[in-house]
C-alpha cells in the first residue's frame, strides 16, 4: 500500500461518455476547485485550458509511476477523472487498494454496465458482468452456459471479434452479440449479430459487448461443481481422477478470494477447479516437469482460468516464495519437511489436503494426523470394464487422503473482531 501522508483526500469523479456537462453540481465543483487533475488523455481534453491547474496524464506502467505521482502532488487538492463508476473495473478500486478507503472519495456516475442493462432490458440479477479489461479473453470461458446473459467489459477494437471466435470455439456459435458503443452520448450506437457470422468489423473505442448464450446441442458448459470428467483435461496419465478430485475439493472448501497452493500439480486439475469456483480465487500450481507445467497452463486457459499461476520448481523449493495460502493440496511427493512447511504457512482456518498411494506415504500421513489432527480416508474406486463379452469391476489403486483444518487461535479471532 502506498503511504500518503497528506490528510487531503483524493477525489475520484466518474464522468459519463457525454462529458463534464453530465456531472452533478457537487462533482463539478470538485473539478473546478482542483489544483491537480489526473486522468487519461480523453478526460483531460474535456477540461480545455485551465490556468493554474496542473493536468497530469496517467503514468505508464501505472503502479510504479503512481507512487511517484502521488508523492509529487501530496498536500494539494487532487481530482482524478474516470469513466462512469470508477469502482467498475476502474481506477477507483486501484486507488482504494493502494491508498486505503480513508483517503479516497469516489463520486460515481452511471456506469456503462447500468446503461447496457437498460438498453438490453436485462435485470441486474439475471445477468453477469465479466471484465476482460487487462485480462485474457479466455477468462470468458468460465462464465459460458446455455441461456446465460453476460455484460462483457472490453478493451481493443477487435474485442467483439475475439469474443465471437471464442464463443464459436466453445460450441456457442448461435449466441447473439450486441455491441453497445459510446453509451450515453449523441453518438451512441448498437450493432447486433450472431457469433458464427460475426464479420470482424472494428468496434468504436468505447464499447462493451452483451452476450446472450445459445442453447443449441453443441453448447458445452463445464459445470462449476468439482469433479469435471477426465476428458475436460489434456494429460499424460498424471491426473487426479474425477471422484478423488471431488473429494479433495470438498475438503479444500474453496471460498471467494481464497489463495491456494497446488503442489505437484500434474495436469493441474485440482487447482483449476479451485480457481473456477470464484473469479477472485488465486491459485499457484507448482510442477517441476516443464512439459506438464505447460500443460497446466493450456488446461487453465481452456477452462476459463488463464490467471492461474504456474511455478516450474520442486514443491519444497517453491513454497517459501508463494503468498500465504488459505488452502494447500499436495497431490504427490509428500515429505515430513514439506508438510511442516505447508502447515506453518497455512493461514488460521486454512485447509490442508494430502494424497498418497504408497505404504510409506500412508505412515507419514498417520504420523501427521497424530500430531496435527484431521481425518484420514482411503478412497477406492472401481469402474465397470469388459471381460471378454461380459463385464466386471476393475479396481483402481486406492488413494489415502489426509485432510486437516488449521485452528483459528483466540488472538486471531479477537484481532478480526
Q: Starting at the edge strand that comes first in sequence, how are the strands of the sheet with 259-263 ordered?
A: 309-311, 282-286, 259-263, 327-330, 351-356, 399-405, 375-379
User: If you classify domain 113-212 with CATH, what class do you get?
Assistant: alpha beta
CATH number of 10-110: 3.40.1010.10
Rounded CA-CA distance 174/168 in Å is 8
Per-residue pLDDT in tens (0 to 9) along the chain, 417 residues = 555 555 678 999 999 888 888 888 999 999 999 999 999 898 999 888 778 899 999 988 888 888 888 888 888 899 999 989 998 878 898 899 888 889 899 999 999 999 999 999 999 999 999 999 889 999 999 999 999 999 999 989 999 999 999 999 999 999 999 999 999 989 999 999 999 999 988 999 999 999 999 987 777 778 899 999 999 999 998 888 899 999 999 999 999 999 999 999 999 999 999 999 999 999 999 999 999 999 999 999 999 999 999 999 999 999 999 999 999 999 988 999 999 999 999 999 999 999 999 999 999 999 999 999 999 999 999 999 999 999 999 998 899 999 999 998 754 544 554
Domains 10-110 and 230-409 share a fold: no
Domain 230-409 indexed as CATH 3.40.50.150: yes
Q: For the chain, which residues make up each domain, given as ranges?
A: 10-110, 113-212, 230-409
Q: How many CB atoms lie within 10 A of CB 339?
A: 22
Q: How many CB atoms lie within 10 A of CB 336?
A: 11
Rounded CA-CA distance 336/399 in Å is 18
The burial of 119, by beta-carbon neighbours within 10 Å (0-12 exposed, 13-18 middle, 19 or more buried), is given as: middle
Q: Which residues pair with 379 in a beta bridge?
A: 399
Model's pTM, two decimal places?
0.86
Amino acid at each position: 500500500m502506498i503511504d500518503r501522508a497528506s490528510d487531503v483526500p483524493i477525489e475520484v469523479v466518474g464522468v459519463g461518455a457525454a462529458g463534464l456537462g453530465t456531472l452533478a453540481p457537487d462533482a463539478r465543483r470538485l473539478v473546478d476547485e482542483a489544483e491537480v487533475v489526473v486522468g487519461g488523455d480523453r478526460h483531460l481534453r474535456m477540461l480545455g485550458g485551465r490556468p493554474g491547474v496542473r493536468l497530469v496524464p496517467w503514468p505508464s506502467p501505472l503502479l510504479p509511476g503512481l507512487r511517484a505521482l502521488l508523492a509529487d502532488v501530496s498536500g494539494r487538492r487532487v481530482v482524478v477523472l474516470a469513466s462512469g463508476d470508477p469502482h467498475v473495473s476502474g481506477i477507483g478500486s486501484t486507488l482504494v487498494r493502494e491508498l486505503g478507503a480513508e483517503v479516497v472519495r469516489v463520486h460515481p456516475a452511471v456506469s456503462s454496465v447500468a446503461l447496457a442493462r437498460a438498453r438490453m432490458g436485462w435485470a441486474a440479477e439475471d445477468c453477469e458482468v465479466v471484465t476482460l479489461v487487462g485480462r485474457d479473453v479466455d477468462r470468458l470461458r468460465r462464465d459460458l452456459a446455455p441461456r446465460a446473459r453476460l455484460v462483457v467489459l472490453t478493451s481493443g477494437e477487435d474485442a467483439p471479434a475475439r469474443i465471437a471466435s471464442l464463443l464459436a470455439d466453445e460450441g456457442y456459435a448461435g449466441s447473439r452479440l450486441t455491441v453497445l458503443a459510446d453509451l450515453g452520448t449523441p453518438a451512441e450506437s448498437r450493432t447486433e449479430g450472431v457469433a458464427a457470422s460475426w464479420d470482424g468489423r472494428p468496434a468504436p473505442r468505447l464499447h462493451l459487448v452483451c452476450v446472450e448464450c445459445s442453447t443449441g446441442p453443441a453448447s458445452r458448459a463445464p459445470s462449476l461443481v468439482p469433479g469435471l470428467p477426465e476428458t475436460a483435461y489434456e494429460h499424460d496419465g498424471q491426473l487426479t481422477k474425477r471422484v478423488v478430485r471431488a473429494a479433495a475439493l470438498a475438503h479444500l472448501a474453496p471460498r471467494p478470494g481464497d489463495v491456494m497452493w497446488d503442489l505437484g500439480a500434474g495436469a493441474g486439475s485440482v487447482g483449476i477447479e479451485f480457481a473456477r469456483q470464484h473469479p477472485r480465487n488465486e491459485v499457484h500450481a507448482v510442477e517441476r516437469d516443464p512439459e506438464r507445467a505447460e500443460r497446466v497452463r493450456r488446461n487453465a486457459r481452456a477452462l476459463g482460468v488463464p490467471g492461474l499461476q504456474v511455478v516450474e520448481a520442486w514443491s519444497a523449493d517453491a513454497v517459501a516464495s508463494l503468498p500465504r495460502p488459505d488452502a494447500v493440496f499436495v497431490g504427490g511427493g509428500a515429505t515430513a519437511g514439506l508438510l511442516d512447511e505447508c502447515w506453518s504457512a497455512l493461514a488460521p482456518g486454512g485447509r490442508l489436503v494430502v494424497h498418497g498411494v504408497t505404504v510409506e506415504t500412508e505412515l507419514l500421513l498417520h504420523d501427521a494426523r497424530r500430531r496435527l489432527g484431521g481425518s484420514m480416508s482411503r478412497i477406492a474406486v472401481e469402474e465397470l470394464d469388459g471381460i471378454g463379452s461380459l463385464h466386471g469391476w476393475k479396481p483402481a489403486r486406492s488413494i489415502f487422503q489426509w485432510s486437516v483444518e488449521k485452528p483459528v487461535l483466540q488472538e486471531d479471532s479477537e484481532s478480526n473482531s
